Structure 1
Amino acid sequence: MPSCNLLLINGPNLNLLGTREPHVYGSTTLADVEAAARQQAASLSVSLATFQSNHEGAIVDRIQQARDEGVDAIVINPGGFTHTSVAIRDALLGVGVPYVELHVSNVHAREEWRRHSYFTDKAVAMVCGMGVYGYTAAIEFAARHMKTAAREKL
């Protein structure tokens, strides 16, 4: 039985991974990322659900649903909503589920407007600029961090 429940959320345009600006985001597809994430989660004895939407409200709804499902941590790549979505931020804070913010590219080395995030100041951790390997790092951290947190509660 998994000792930790993780939710991986991908925001707008991440369904285009592998074809969208491969010089920035690489050639690995979201399906490939999700398959690798599920395999990694199984090897860490954690459960993993995945979700992608181009719609802000759908992401808010999925975050709210996570609390009712007993999700222990969220790994979120908010995509373009990073710089605009107070609604997603409020949902994350409202459910009280710790989260790791994730970006494929190094947002700090890109356009000035990409450097502002509505999520970083409340995230347990932030991973960026590691390409799709960032998913591996974020899931590893979330799984191990949440397992440690659960043991400390005992």
Structure 2
Amino acid sequence: MKRILVLHGINLNMFGKRDRSQYGTMTLEAINERIAALAQELGVHVECVQTNHEGEMVERIHRAHDDGTDAVIINAGAWTHYNYAIRDALEILQIPVIEVHMSHIQSREPFRHTSVLAPVVTGQISGFGVVSYLLGLRAALECLNAR
């Protein structure tokens, strides 16, 4: 069974409470439930992790290098736009990495238009709310099946 790690970054534990016009009303717990349901349907194992601590995020990415993780889906939140430590950790991985965002980052404030992660990930999906995660899961599986 394929193992896919879903990483939620800084402030994403506040889904359902923060800027509902951008992120909707679904909580992180509900998002994880939707991801788990699709994973079961697709026959893959998912582990969902959220942290507000950069070092913890980097350490979890490092563990993915050796723990049997087959692909990573990451929504790094605001870290997307400036965090080179997370970028460097992702670059070490030799597995598909899909960057996802609930909001359409290109239509938001100019600082959100740049992803420092984009050059080292397999692809990026944004603007579809929770469906961005579900599309990310499908994309990760497609990448794995194409190998």
Q: TM-score with structure 2 length normalisation?
A: 0.96
Select 2:71's aligned residue among 70, 73, 95: 73
Mapping for residues 21-60 of structure 1, pairs under 5 Å: 21-60=19-58
Amino acid at match of 2:11: N
SS in 2 for 1:32: helix
SS in 2 for 1:68: coil
Mapping for residues 129-144 of structure 1, pairs under 5 Å: 129-144=127-142
CA distance in 2: counterparts of 1:95 and 1:127, whole angstroms: 19
Select 2:87's aligned residue among 86, 89, 106: 89
Cα deviation, 1:46-101, whole Å, max 9, x if unaligned, reads 11111000111100000001122111110000000001110001101113232000
1:152 matched residue in structure 2: none
SS in 2 for 1:126: strand
| Structure 1 unpaired stretches of 5+ | 150-154
**Count of aligned pairs between the two proteins:** 147
SS in 2 for 1:54: coil
CA distance in 1: counterparts of 2:4 and 2:81, whole angstroms: 24
Q: Is the 8 A contact 2:5 2:73 kept in 1?
A: yes
CA distance in 2: counterparts of 1:30 and 1:73, whole angstroms: 20
CA distance in 2: counterparts of 1:105 and 1:141, whole angstroms: 18
CA distance in 1: counterparts of 2:88 and 2:123, whole angstroms: 17
CA distance in 1: counterparts of 2:138 and 2:95, whole angstroms: 17
SS in 2 for 1:11: strand
Amino acid at match of 2:103: S
Amino acid at match of 1:101: E
SS in 2 for 1:62: helix
% same residue? 35
Query: Which runs of at least 4 in structure 1 moved beyond 6 Å after TM superposition?
Result: none
CA distance in 1: counterparts of 2:22 and 2:91, whole angstroms: 30
1:120 matched residue in structure 2: 118
Select 2:14's aligned residue among 1, 13, 16: 16
